[in-house]
Structure 1
Amino acid sequence: MDQPTVGILHPGSMGAAVAACAAKNANSVLWCTDGRSPTSAARAQEFGLTPMAELPELLNRSDIVLSLCPPAAAEDLAREVAGHGFTGVYVEGNAISPERAVRIAQLLEPGATVVDGGVIGSPPVRGKSPALYLSGPAAATARVEALFAGTAVQTRTLGTEIGQASALKLAYASFQKTSRVLVALAYGLAREHGVDQELIAVAARRTDSYLSEPQYVATAAARAWRWGPEMEEVADSLAAAGLPPEMLRAAASTMARWHDAKDDADLTLDEALDQLGRL
């Protein structure tokens, strides 16, 4: 059985947890300490990842590299990796447009083999089991599937075209994440007029509606620093498809009001709504 060495770039909450799952079928999982925060270091240690001092060292030792970072950093990160002459399998797993996925593949090929990836679901901890959708060259997607076999990360290959996995990720995100923004706006309006409890009662009769989960607004606010740029990626993809992007750009602009809520696990619904209304 192939036991590759795996490198994880920017091990955030999703990346570190996904990399830890890969460790089951890998020789080792490496991460680069250069420029990373103490929080990242603590997270990497918690998940048992092996530190490397510099990126070239990580790339030279890695057969497969997983890129899971904020969307805005994805292309620059790929360009940096390409500059070091990486020749393994590069899994572009970020929430980016299909067009950016193609550009990233062009940056890295022909030296490296690029697999387009899209993660749907929460990080694979505490019983969570996200799906990792893949597209790209068949031999490379098969290696990635084998890497996560028997783990909490469920893989599914969509085809051989770079951009398919990214398109699926953004198509789902366009609904799932902007709907949370609409919930926040609905509750903000209701609260302003003293009828927020009545809105909860109305929504409770429609349990299939996100309006029945107002407590999730605070969680959305804490993640908005990542979700906003993702919505810009969706907007770019809609525009490229000849569809109107304005609603998604508006959602990104709305999320930008939550910039002070970044990763605030203690944020309440009222605090999130207060920040949303702050000019």
Structure 2
Amino acid sequence: MDQPTVGILHPGSMGAAVAACAATNAAAVLWCPTGRSPASVTRAEQSGLTPVATMRELLDRSDIVISLCPPAAAEDLARDVAGHRFVGVYVEANAINPTRVQRIAALLEDDATVVDGGVVGSPPAGGKTPTLYLSGRDDAARRIQALFEGTAVRTAVLGTEVGKASALKLAYASFQKTSRVLVALAVGMAREHGVDQELIEVASRRTDSYLSEPQYVAKTADRAWRWGPELEEAADALEAAGLPPEMLRAAASTLARWNDAKDSELTLTEALDRLAQP
């Protein structure tokens, strides 16, 4: 099979790293810098992506488009793509709930083939090997597997039902991210009473406890702008399944106290201070 041309919408830290892996088996990986931040331009250049002048050019030239953007923007972005009558394979790889993925598939189904995607793990750089879970039409899912063959992005196909990959992503994220929020609250409460070091010592006796990694609180703060909306998506998925969503909505509300901490490289103390005094 000829090497496909791939378009990436839009290269954040995860998107740029995934796109760099896709470049291994692609003729080119395109992106559109119009309206994007200087940080996005730097990431795209470092990842070897090819800039194009307009979204229309990107869609006209691409055989495969991968959407990796903040969850809130996923449907608007898909609507733009549908308006341009994109006719290739559209990988909806955002952290959104299965109902939204199915709405996006319905938006695009007259022209494009939608593959549901969910990335579990850290961006594929520095030895990290995340897994891109896929669900959708078999031939299209296999094309995406071929695109990442031999790269740091592992792939796994879950079946033909659009929504399965997103459900798995959100189920995993709901546990992992809420657990990190609970660590921040536990350490913050202990610190208020001067027993935070004792709490950490107790937790360190159990190496499988997130409480034994309080240094991760600052990383959680740095990622809160992205994690909070993911947990809201997971809460919506719980509610749709008849399960109580309140725990995840509370975790998302807690993360919102760190919304302005993106790229600020806070210390543990600074992160806890912001959590206690937003």
Q: What TM-score results when the alignment is normalised by the length of structure 2?
A: 0.99
Question: CA RMSD of the aligned region, Å?
Answer: 0.6
How far apart, CA to CA, are the structure 2 residues paired with 1:73 and 1:228? Answer: 14
| 1:128 equivalenced with 2:128 (yes/no) | yes
* Alignment map for 1:52-201 (pairs within 5 Å): 52-201=52-201
Q: What does residue 270 of structure 1 align with?
A: 269
* Alignment map for 1:226-245 (pairs within 5 Å): 226-245=226-245
Deviations 1:192-245 (A, max 9, x none): 000000001000101100000000000010000000000000000000000000
| 1:6 equivalenced with 2:13 (yes/no) | no
* Alignment map for 1:193-232 (pairs within 5 Å): 193-232=193-232
Residue 257 of structure 1 and its aligned partner are, at CA, apart by 0.3
Secondary structure of the corresponding residue to residue 81 of structure 2 = helix
Secondary structure of the corresponding residue to residue 152 of structure 2 = coil
Write the letter of the residue equivalent to 2:160: T
Secondary structure of the corresponding residue to residue 155 of structure 2 = strand
Q: What does residue 28 of structure 1 align with?
A: 28
Q: Is the 8 A contact 2:225 2:260 kept in 1?
A: no
Gapped runs of 5+ residues in structure 1? none
How far apart, CA to CA, are the structure 1 residues paired with 2:110 and 2:224? Answer: 35
Q: Is the 8 A contact 2:26 2:147 kept in 1?
A: yes
Write the letter of the residue equivalent to 1:71: P
Q: Is the 8 A contact 2:135 2:159 kept in 1?
A: yes
Residue 53 of structure 1 and its aligned partner are, at CA, apart by 1.1
Q: What does residue 40 of structure 2 align with?
A: 40
Q: What does residue 15 of structure 2 align with?
A: 15
Write the letter of the residue equivalent to 2:84: H
How far apart, CA to CA, are the structure 1 residues paired with 2:187 and 2:73? Answer: 33
How far apart, CA to CA, are the structure 2 residues paired with 1:161 and 1:116? Answer: 8
Residue 263 of structure 1 and its aligned partner are, at CA, apart by 2.3
How far apart, CA to CA, are the structure 2 residues paired with 1:89 and 1:263? Answer: 33
Residue 252 of structure 1 and its aligned partner are, at CA, apart by 0.6
Secondary structure of the corresponding residue to residue 125 of structure 1 = coil
Residue 2 of structure 1 and its aligned partner are, at CA, apart by 2.7
Gapped runs of 5+ residues in structure 2? none
Secondary structure of the corresponding residue to residue 24 of structure 2 = helix
How far apart, CA to CA, are the structure 1 residues paired with 2:139 and 2:95? Answer: 23
Deviations 1:113-168 (A, max 9, x none): 00000000000001110000000000100000000000000000000000000000
How far apart, CA to CA, are the structure 1 residues paired with 2:270 and 2:104? Answer: 39
Secondary structure of the corresponding residue to residue 91 of structure 1 = strand
How far apart, CA to CA, are the structure 2 residues paired with 1:102 and 1:244? Answer: 22
Deviations 1:173-203 (A, max 9, x none): 0100000000000000000000000001000
Deviations 1:50-89 (A, max 9, x none): 0011100000000000000111111111011111110000
Number of residues paired by the alignment?
A: 278
Write the letter of the residue equivalent to 1:164: K
Residue 260 of structure 1 and its aligned partner are, at CA, apart by 1.9
Deviations 1:12-65 (A, max 9, x none): 000000000000100000000111011100110001000011100000000000
How far apart, CA to CA, are the structure 1 residues paired with 2:6 and 2:113? Answer: 14
How far apart, CA to CA, are the structure 2 residues paired with 1:210 and 1:132? Answer: 24
How far apart, CA to CA, are the structure 2 residues paired with 1:190 and 1:53? Answer: 53
How far apart, CA to CA, are the structure 2 residues paired with 1:104 and 1:263? Answer: 31
How far apart, CA to CA, are the structure 1 residues paired with 2:36 and 2:75? Answer: 18
Q: What TM-score results when the alignment is normalised by the length of structure 1?
A: 0.99
